[in-house]
Amino acid sequence: MGIISPGFTGRGRSGSDLPPGQYLTQDFPVLSAGPTPHVLPEHWEFTIATESGEMHRWDWAAFQRLPAEEITRDLHCVTRWSKLATDWKGVSLDALFEDVETAADFVMAHSYGGYTTNLPLEDLLDGQAWIAYQYDGEPLAAEHGGPARLLVPHLYLWKSAKWVRGLVLSDTDDLGFWETAGYHEYGDPWKEQRYAGD
Ligand SMILES: Nc1nc2c(c(=O)[nH]1)N[C@H]1C(S)=C(S)[C@@H](COP(=O)(O)O)O[C@H]1N2
Ligand SMILES: [Mo]
φ, ψ dihedrals at 153, nearest 5° = -70, -15
β-pair type (130-135, 138-139):
antiparallel
Quick one: average pLDDT of 134-163? 98
Confidence of residue 22 (pLDDT cuts 50, 70, 90): very high
CA dist 57 and 38 (Å) reads 20
Residues with CB under 6 A from ligand 1: 28-33, 77, 111, 113, 115, 144-145, 157-158, 160-163
Identify the pLDDT of residue 3.
Answer: 45
Ligand 1 atom 9: residue of nearest CA:
32
Confidence of residue 17 (pLDDT cuts 50, 70, 90): confident
> What predicted TM-score, i.e. pTM, was given to this entire model?
0.93
pLDDT tens digits, 185-194: 999 999 999 9
Confidence of residue 134 (pLDDT cuts 50, 70, 90): very high
pLDDT tens digits, 57-77: 999 999 999 999 999 999 999
34 CA distance to ligand 2 middle (Å): 13
Strands (E), 7-156: 23-24, 45-49, 55-59, 69-76, 81-92, 106-111, 116-120, 130-135, 138-139, 149-151
Interacting residues of 177 by C-beta distance below 8 A, sequence separation 6+: 33, 114, 115, 116, 117
Pick the more confident residue, 16 or 140: 140
Closest by CA to 152, choosing from 179, 132, 182, is: 132
pLDDT tens digits, 4-16: 444 444 444 444 5
Quick one: average pLDDT of 85-107? 98
Confidence of residue 151 (pLDDT cuts 50, 70, 90): very high
Whether 128 shows a pLDDT value over 70: the answer reads: yes
| Cβ atoms of residues 40 and 112 within 8 Å | no
16 CA distance to ligand 1 middle (Å): 22
Phi-psi region of 15 (alpha: psi -120 to 50; beta: other; left: phi over 0): left
Which domains, ranges and CATH numbers included, belong to the chain? Answer: 23-191 (3.90.420.10)
Tallying the residues shown for the chain, one arrives at 198
160 CA distance to ligand 1 middle (Å): 7
**DSSP reduced 3-state for 143:** helix
Identify the pLDDT of residue 4.
Answer: 45
